[in-house]
Structure 1
Amino acid sequence: MNKDDLIFNSKHIWHPYDSIKNPLPCYPIISAKGIYLTLNNGKKLIDGMSSWWATIHGYNHPRLNQALKNQINRVSHIMFGGIIHPPAISLCKKLISMTHKKLQYVFLADSGSVAIEIAMKMALQYWAKEDSEKKNFLTIKSGYHGDTFSAMSISDPKNSIHRLYRKYLPLHLFAESPKSKFGEKWKKGDIDSFENLIKKNFKKIAAVILEPIVQGAGGMKFYHSKYLKKVKLLCKNYKIPLILDEIATGFGRTGKLFAYEHSKIFPDILCLGKAITGGTLTLSAVLTTKKISEKISNNYPGYLMHGPTFMANPLACAVASENLSILKENIWKKQVSKIYRILSKYLFPIRNHYMVHDIRILGAIAVVECKKEINIKKIQYFFVKNGVWIRPFKKLIYIMPAYIIDKKSLKKIIELIIQSLNYKKFFI
């Protein structure tokens, strides 16, 4: 990429949550390997974001690359209507074997937001014949489920990303977000808001949907495992399906293979994405139970009303299957545990820093919540200048590195985060 390419980009290409008129700077990456991103000037950056949770084994992983090469020589894409192929069979077998035994049916889609849409359709079609009044969803505040319309409708209603669209979206039910933090003392009454809403509205609730344990882009909050257990019990008592959005947390990120395992429960519908292909291609999966699947099939029109063009893309399925094979070797457990220990050792001591509001660490996730809004442009330039890639938002400096990161590189990321807190110019 040359200077003209960068000018073209700034004038013509949209980037996530950014302005086309006054965009944030874009840093030109020409290659990536392991934990490193390479800029067009040859400078290497340690990636602290794993491309928004996805590249859990690092970039250019030889086994993932080989799976792609092997498959592309056979067929890169083919419609899934009336056709089945080996990569889809292999992937679905592994997904069923890795998740709870009750989750026996798999719908393969092409992105996390679409997985949420499908899960919501499943819940609505589940009730279609029996109770047409069940049209609402119950969730909790501070959640984030994606940027498509139904996904936005169940994300935090005051979230600045989505509030622009509130008047166009259906209204759902939002309980207060949990106050009891993960690993800390359970606060009696934390479930009251949720319990009151489900008691009052159970006749019109199609499903409960939330992110288990970790709330992602809605604020990077980690809540108590007991809260999720109580949600599951209430869903069971009121016979309401529970949808869990594990798009960000799935595949080891929280220290468990799936975050719902922290609460020793299971969902009726499970949404997976992001790390499912190891960050190589876009793919998502929705798993559900025999009860949900059969009831949908018994209701009009007799099948699930969804069918993406790139559903079960063979290339994506092949690399996802190999990615799950790597995870099944269980090396990730030691890797994530090591990351947690390093993060805890060096970040918890700065809790009393004058610019720090809170430090949150779980598995291979760390969040430094600042007391002031961050100047993204200035702080990101500082990180890049010093050889690290971090993408903060609002008041949060957060990282979720690849599981393969070494101690020296992780310490460098942490040291730069701590240094950045001392510069007033980085905060608004």
Structure 2
Amino acid sequence: MTQNTPDLPFNISDHHVWRPYTQMKTTPAALKVKSAQGVHIELEDGRRLIDGVSSWWTVCHGYRHPHIMQAVKAQMDRVPHVMLGGLTHAPAQTLAQRLAALAPGDLNHVFFCESGSVSVEIAMKIAMQSWINRGERGHTKFVCFKGGYHGDTLATMSVCDPEEGMHSLFAGGLQQQLVTALPRDESAREAFEALISTRRAEIAGIITEPLVQGAGGMKFHTPETLAYLRDVCDRFGLPLILDEIMTGFGRLGTMFACEKAGVIPDIMTVSKALTGGTLPLAAAIASSRLFADFWSDDAGAALMHGPTYMGNPAACAAANASIDLFEQEPRLEQVATIEALFAERLPEARDFPGIVDVRWQGAIGVLEFPAVPELEALKARFVDAGVWVRPFGNIIYLMPPYVITADELDVLITATLNVTRGWAKDHFV
């Protein structure tokens, strides 16, 4: 059957790739990448850019680290992929054991998938089904927080901020969750505990990003706030899910952000830097207590989930090699060096017109404004200055690869400050 293509207001051949978070009609054409090495992206026109955002926060060891590349190539020569249903393989088994050893407390059971959003969906399913398997139905809602972000799939959209996030368009089609303010002070904590006490019979769990709400605006909260959430979960018998997709693997200076608060979640999700920015892989890591809720002679008590490429051997090999580098090279010390340079240089921006806040933690630096007008023009200014910096919402932020040298970081920060200063004068004076 032949389908006639109607007259369209665009050239189809120019838009076969449907780009993320992009109004295809108005956004400038994407820059074409020729290669990448270390902290640099080389464009087809010959320009080299210092990557200031680690390619959506993934490339912690820099591009094409030889140890990871060799591990992936060797695995591709053996088994590039095999289904994890009924079969297993050494890369997945080794990685699961290593993640269990790295994760705090009794987070011993690793469920693999291909993307961070899906790992959060899996965590939510584990939390909900654990209640059902214990004979308690009705626990179908999650407590989540304003400013939070956990992914773009349907269930994860429901636990994002419904007003400030990018998903308000879909509000009518999403599960209504219990969205509230992070309990940062005593009055907020009173309201929070009242909510938990009143709705406890409906709650499947509490989910948050530890210490930094990432895509919601790089908003920081204290270890004390996270510890308080753990205490509330303990007192009310609720599982705590920590989304470490952005913060995991050293971004804040410890392997996982929850370590800064001495908090052990019941489920932790990881992705992004898990493979060092080479291949897609994610995981939901559950406690032994929750895993025990699925341990049964009843086949109906099993977790019925199984992404096709879960535990992909090549991706697991990349992740094992990435963990090797955390053991063999001074990654956390490098994050501390980045944090120190942010502390030295970024306060200069406090004198910029319109600036609302300047903050940093670990290898995250943030300049906050009331808004970021002419966003695409600002992004182009950064490219012209030789850096790949991608503002969003009302912030300009830096999250460079950990391996960036002091000189490279100086160039990145200087370019960011110079471009931002000029842009701020144009828009806020």
TM-score range, shorter chain: over 0.9
In structure 2, distance between residues paired with 1:398 and 1:318: 31
| 8 Å CA contact 1:355, 1:421 repeated in 2 | no
295-304 or 209-218, which moves further after superposition? 295-304
| 8 Å CA contact 2:205, 2:238 repeated in 1 | yes
1:155–1:99: structure 2 CA closer, same or farther, 3 Å change rule? same
Q: 1:374 deviation in Å?
A: 3.3
| 8 Å CA contact 2:364, 2:398 repeated in 1 | yes
Q: 1:12 deviation in Å?
A: 2.9
Q: Match of 2:7?
A: none
1:168 maps to 2:167: no
1:144 maps to 2:155: no
Listed one character per residue, the Cα deviations across residues 207-227 of structure 1 (whole Å, up to 9, x for unaligned) are 111101010001110101101
Give the letter aligned to residue 97 of structure 1.
A
| 8 Å CA contact 1:214, 1:221 repeated in 2 | yes
| 8 Å CA contact 1:374, 1:396 repeated in 2 | no
Q: Match of 1:267?
A: 265
In structure 2, distance between residues paired with 1:194 and 1:296: 30
Give the letter aligned to residue 422 of structure 2.
N
Q: 1:87 deviation in Å?
A: 0.5
Give the letter aligned to residue 304 of structure 1.
L
In structure 1, distance between residues paired with 2:325 and 2:288: 28
Q: How does 1:180-195 map to 2 (within 5 A)?
A: 180=184, 187-195=185-193
In structure 1, distance between residues paired with 2:241 and 2:78: 36
| 8 Å CA contact 1:374, 1:426 repeated in 2 | no
Q: Match of 1:227?
A: 225
Q: Match of 2:304?
A: 305
In structure 1, distance between residues paired with 2:117 and 2:330: 29
| 8 Å CA contact 1:110, 1:311 repeated in 2 | yes
1:371–1:9: structure 2 CA closer, same or farther, 3 Å change rule? farther
Q: Match of 2:52?
A: 48
1:39 maps to 2:38: no
Listed one character per residue, the Cα deviations across residues 310-362 of structure 1 (whole Å, up to 9, x for unaligned) are 01000000110110111123611210000000011010232232221101100
Q: Match of 1:357?
A: 356
| 8 Å CA contact 1:374, 1:392 repeated in 2 | no
1:201 maps to 2:199: yes
What is the CA RMSD across the aligned residues, in angstroms? 1.7
Listed one character per residue, the Cα deviations across residues 168-219 of structure 1 (whole Å, up to 9, x for unaligned) are 00101012135x5xxxxxx443433322211211111011111010100011
369-378 or 392-401, which moves further after superposition? 369-378
1:341 maps to 2:345: no
Listed one character per residue, the Cα deviations across residues 266-307 of structure 1 (whole Å, up to 9, x for unaligned) are 000010000000000000011111110111233761211100
Q: How does 1:361-376 map to 2 (within 5 A)?
A: 361-376=360-375
| Consecutive aligned runs of 4 or more in structure 1 exceeding 4 Å deviation | 7-10, 424-428
Q: 1:20 deviation in Å?
A: 2.1
Question: Is the partner of 1:360 in helix, strand or coil?
Answer: strand
Question: Is the partner of 1:297 in helix, strand or coil?
Answer: coil
110-119 or 193-202, which moves further after superposition? 193-202
In structure 2, distance between residues paired with 1:102 and 1:424: 48
Question: Is the partner of 1:73 in helix, strand or coil?
Answer: helix
Query: Given the alignment, which residue of 56, 67, 70 partners 2:71?
Result: 67
Give the letter aligned to residue 417 of structure 2.
I
So what's the TM-score if we normalise by structure 1?
A: 0.93
Listed one character per residue, the Cα deviations across residues 242-275 of structure 1 (whole Å, up to 9, x for unaligned) are 0100000000001111000111010000100000
247-256 or 129-138, which moves further after superposition? 129-138
Q: 1:143 deviation in Å?
A: 0.2
| Structure 1: runs of 5 or more not aligned | 1-6, 181-186
Q: 1:9 deviation in Å?
A: 7.3
In structure 1, distance between residues paired with 2:262 and 2:129: 28
| 8 Å CA contact 1:269, 1:289 repeated in 2 | yes
In structure 1, distance between residues paired with 2:100 and 2:319: 13
Q: 1:140 deviation in Å?
A: 1.1
| 8 Å CA contact 2:349, 2:367 repeated in 1 | no
Q: Match of 1:423?
A: 423
1:160–1:228: structure 2 CA closer, same or farther, 3 Å change rule? closer
Q: 1:425 deviation in Å?
A: 8.0
Q: How does 1:257-336 map to 2 (within 5 A)?
A: 257-298=255-296, 301-329=300-328, 331-336=330-335
1:427–1:271: structure 2 CA closer, same or farther, 3 Å change rule? farther
375-384 or 28-37, which moves further after superposition? 375-384
In structure 1, distance between residues paired with 2:30 and 2:113: 30
In structure 2, distance between residues paired with 1:239 and 1:197: 14
Listed one character per residue, the Cα deviations across residues 221-247 of structure 1 (whole Å, up to 9, x for unaligned) are 010110110100000011000010000
In structure 2, distance between residues paired with 1:113 and 1:119: 10
So what's the TM-score if we normalise by structure 2?
A: 0.93
| Structure 2: runs of 5 or more not aligned | 1-10
1:406–1:377: structure 2 CA closer, same or farther, 3 Å change rule? same
Q: 1:67 deviation in Å?
A: 0.4
Q: Match of 1:4?
A: none
In structure 2, distance between residues paired with 1:297 and 1:269: 17
| 8 Å CA contact 1:110, 1:283 repeated in 2 | yes
| 8 Å CA contact 2:114, 2:310 repeated in 1 | yes
204-213 or 129-138, which moves further after superposition? 129-138
Q: Match of 2:251?
A: 253
Question: Is the partner of 2:268 in helix, strand or coil?
Answer: strand
